[in-house]
Chain A
Amino acid sequence: MSALDVRDLRVVYRRKGEPDRIALDGFSLESDNEMLALLGPNGAGKSTLMGVIAQTISPDSGERVSPASRHGLSIVFQTPALDQLLTVRENLQISGALHGIPKGEIESRVAALSDELMISDRLDEQVRHLSGGLARRADLARALIPHPTMLLLDEPTSGLDIDARRSFWESMRHIRTQLGMTVLLATHLIDEAERADRVAMISDGRCVAIDSPARLRDALGERVLRIHTVTPEQIKPAMSWVRSLGAIPHRIDQIIIVPDAQSIEIQSCPIEGIGLTIAPPTLEDAYSIRTNEGTLI
């Protein structure tokens, strides 16, 4: 059985005086012993899916086959789930107690994880005195205390600067190697999704594509052409020009993306005043074409 197996999930938010909002719409996903990124903009349904997996949200229909219980499940939220008035050590001890770990075992795990995450010299400081990056690593330690078999990361680096983000992912890489677990990462950041073994692209509560980052990119050919139009009047002739070359244009707002564009010569474009770039495809190109959405923010 896979560590994660959810089938045909549907979650609808109903609020008085507001139209119903479908957060998940027939969503199925399976994952085991890998890092799977859920890539999508805010409101796509990533956090709702995390809530269903963590059993804090009951789906209107569909089935959560696994994880069947909360045992072995842990989560890192968008902001640290740490008590600011408590020390790092006290927070980690609470996490251990919540998972029913014996006291002696908690202490040895606190020592090992704080060493691994380089926070052992800050264990007895109150969390409110830590920097954002250190608090985030302490929060990761909090989530890892139960040695989870499935770790949910819900936009875990939001609000962190570049150095702190790099440090977080370096720590994650070490920990994954040691503990071996299924990691589900919700993100709207392309560079974070690139770190995953597989990427599930989510739009409007549906999974529109799932594969390794390399395969998702390679599906667009060796090169893609990106046409940046300046005025709306430029879009129609630009689309016509691409079609005249036998290629398929994908319009996303003011940008046109053309996959398999290795044979296109951009000098032949008859439209003036537009930006043309031809380059290897990115995960963002793949996401834009699959979802018809230009931005992930």
Chain B
Amino acid sequence: MSGFGAMNALAKRELVRQTRQPSRIIASVATPLMLWVFIVGGFSNAMGKVAGDETSLTAYTIPGMASLTVMFASIFASISLIQDRHDGVLRAALISPAPKWSIAMSKIGAGSIIALIQAMIVLLALPFLGVTLTPVGILGAIGALLCISVALIGVGLAMAWIVDSTQGFHGVMNSLLMPMWLLSGAIFPVEDAAGWMRVIALLNPLTWSHAAMRDALGMSDAFNPILAWGVSAGFALFGAALGIWAISRSSKP
């Protein structure tokens, strides 16, 4: 069998589950929005304009909040694998003839759709903060956020599969993803950071995804856009491959 039918059915299941759990959507969007309010409320006067005095901190941090929304949605998407594997539908899926990649890709596909919808709600704040949303800008933002969600869900699936406990998964993901997000130019311009921090940020693939998103939205041109898109796409491919590889491994309980 090709696996696409199985992938579609499992992805549809994830989307239906989401519509029947509205609290998950609220939690994923509310946390970044609250964080954004606290950050801009606390620092905007102190920092003033950023990115060449063209963008306020209030607007500058919105793409970062969108990526944080994607990060939370990705964690939700991948953590469900742990329970699903032991108590849920995934047990039956894993012994079905459906190829393992279809299981991983259903999680990545559906999780990305959910993450993008939530992140776009956050991005809708931009026109109210002086940033004009053009069709190209919206498509670029969707592309960058898609790269982030595919990468993070893929990495999350691999972590969930290997760690195999919700507590352990939270520990690993928090210690990996939060520093990654903080050091990615999400809430401050990387080009203005201290030397050592700038080096770390440049090694961080999320930095390049933020750069690609801000470039598409016309908010910053501090990075080479071709390099930014290349790193973002590479990060997505790496995450997806890692997730598929992890789920394809057989195991002992």
A residues near B (Cβ < 8 Å) are 11, 13, 47, 51, 54-58, 69-71, 73-75, 77, 79, 81-83, 85-86, 90-91, 93-95, 97-100, 126, 142-143, 146
Contact = CB atoms under 8 A, between A and B. Distances in A.
Contact of B9 (A51, A98, A126, A142): A98
B171 to A, nearest CB: 18
Contacts of B252: 11, 13, 51, 57-58
B91 A99 contact: no
B16 A57 contact: no
Contacts of A55: 95, 250
Contacts of A91: 89
B5 interface: yes
Nearest to A72: B97
B9 A94 contact: yes
Interface residues of B, number: 27
Contacts, number: 87
Interface in B20-46: 20-21
A98 B98 contact: yes
Contacts of B2: 100
Contacts of B182: none
A58 B88 contact: no
B141 to A, nearest CB: 30
A51 B92 CA distance: 12
A70 B100 CA distance: 12
Given A73-B95, A90-B16, A82 B89 contact: yes
A288 B31 CA distance: 59
A269 B92 CA distance: 56
B15 to A, nearest CB: 11
B17 A85 contact: yes
Q: Which 9 A-B pairs have the closest CB atoms?
A: A97-B9, A100-B1, A98-B96, A54-B95, A81-B92, A70-B97, A98-B98, A81-B91, A85-B20
B6 interface: yes
Nearest to A60: B252
A202 B8 CA distance: 41
A57 B251 contact: yes
Nearest to A12: B252
A86 B251 contact: no
B9 A83 contact: no
B13 A86 contact: yes
B250 A99 contact: no
Given A94-B10, A97-B6, 17 more contacts: A13-B252, A47-B253, A51-B253, A56-B251, A57-B250, A73-B95, A77-B92, A83-B17, A83-B88, A86-B13, A86-B16, A91-B89, A95-B92, A97-B98, A99-B1, A99-B98, A146-B96
A59 to B, nearest CB: 10
Contacts of B87: 79
Contacts of A81: 88-89, 91-92
Contacts of A73: 95
B93 interface: yes
A246 B97 CA distance: 57
Contacts of B94: 56
Interface string B128-167: 0000000000000000000000000000000000000000
A97 B7 CA distance: 9
Contact of B13 (A69, A79, A83, A142): A83
A56 B95 contact: yes
Given A57-B251, A85-B17, A99 B95 contact: no
Given A58-B250, A77-B91, A70 B96 contact: yes
Nearest to B1: A100
28 contacts: A51-B252, A51-B253, A54-B95, A58-B250, A70-B95, A74-B95, A75-B92, A81-B88, A81-B91, A82-B88, A83-B89, A85-B20, A86-B16, A90-B13, A94-B10, A97-B8, A97-B10, A97-B98, A98-B6, A98-B9, A98-B10, A98-B96, A99-B1, A99-B96, A99-B98, A100-B6, A100-B98, A143-B92
